[in-house]
Amino acid sequence: EKTKNLINKLTDTHSLLKDEWVYLLQNADVCRDFAFKKACSMRDNIYGKTVFIRGLIEFTNYCRNDCYYCGIRRSNKNAARYRLNKDDILSCCAEGYRLGFRTFVLQGGEDMYFSDDEMCRMISSIKQAYPDCAVTLSVGERDKSTYQRFYNAGADRYLLRHETATDNHYRKLHPDELTLSNRVKCLYDLKEIGFQVGCGMMVGSPYQTNEHLAEDMLFLEKFQPHMVGIGPFISHKDTPFKNEPNGSAKKTIFMVALTRLLLPSVLLPATTALGTLDEMGREKAVLAGANVVMPNLSPKNVREKYMLYDNKISTGDEAAESLASLALRMEKIGYEIVSARGDFAGFKRK
């Protein structure tokens, strides 16, 4: 009863206290289905029975950072490094456009080979060729002036997960050169400039407790992101966390539902990591309030190399070229994949 009351309170007020979040997380089993139902109807009221698609182009796996969880961290000497050039990326977009994608997500390690000028050239070439498409960037922490240049070049959205909103925990996942305060500063800079901004966290990352997840929810409430990426932690054999247990798909899906209830209009992906842990993960996430899928649009010969965690999927229904089959799977659960750009409800570019 208490958990249901908390879900009702969250649905009505879009806010909970830290203790209430912790209580919900501790008692997920007795309110899971109720939360899913509420989250679905909230998403349906705003976006209808539709799921947006994004073509994910993983354009470099070089990275200057050394995050303990990540397979493309700079210290991983076993990673086969690659970069795509502007023409490769434009070919991905051409193929994506043909398939029906109207958002292209350029994601990569923090690779300074791609200077501000080079990034701006890429962004403006894509926007020139596909003016009806949105460009999303996910290239980590940069100066505000750089973010501004990316925005002026035509970029629309930016994904930068906060990873964890607790300083102590952040320091257990990253070397000292990376700080939560700079991560959060970047997020506020991006928002101020006018991007649709996404943050997010892994579920079940090493040392994570329910208190940490509660702090993540408080941060989401305060920051009011337009997008939130939530995926389970999955270990990678060549990282310091190789022996750490994977996060749980079930808990990840519960976090998706809570996030929908907290942020009604949020763009919420069913993540690749979730699809990696659970073959039905995408469907389960959509039935818990997710409304975005991000199939892999990278050239086939590099997909195996963007290995953030062991066994990361990039084939089958995760591949952009299998969109028809993904669409069928969504139809089976009553949802329709749409070609629209899929901006945050009511969002206007500055």
Minimum distance, C-beta of residue 311 to ligand SAM, in the bound complex (Å): 11
# chain residues binding ligand SAM, by CB under 6 A: 19
Of residues 308, 320, 327, 330, which one binds ligand SAM by CB under 6 A? 308
Minimum distance, C-beta of residue 306 to ligand SAM, in the bound complex (Å): 8
Minimum distance, C-beta of residue 25 to ligand SAM, in the bound complex (Å): 19
Pairing between β-strand 55-60 and β-strand 50-53 as defined by DSSP bridges? unpaired
Give ∠ CA 324-283-228 in degrees, rounded to 5.
100
Whose Cβ is closer to ligand SAM: residue 309's or residue 335's? 309
Is 160 a binding residue for ligand SAM by CB under 6 A? The answer is yes
Whose Cβ is closer to ligand SAM: residue 36's or residue 309's? 309
Q: Produce one character per residue of 303-338: b if its CB has 16 or more CB atoms within 10 Å, e if not.
A: bebbbbbeebbbeebbbbebbeebbebbeeeebebb
Minimum distance, C-beta of residue 142 to ligand SAM, in the bound complex (Å): 11
Is 119 a binding residue for ligand SAM by CB under 6 A? The answer is no
70 labeled part of a ligand binding site = yes
163 labeled part of a ligand binding site = yes
Is 219 a binding residue for ligand SAM by CB under 6 A? The answer is no
40 labeled part of a ligand binding site = no
Pairwise CA distance, residues 154 & 144, whole Å: 15
Residue positions in the annotated binding site for [4Fe-4S] cluster? Answer: 63, 67, 70
Q: Give residues in contact with ligand SAM (CB under 6 A).
A: 69-70, 107, 109-110, 138-140, 160-161, 163, 202, 231, 233-234, 236, 273, 308-309
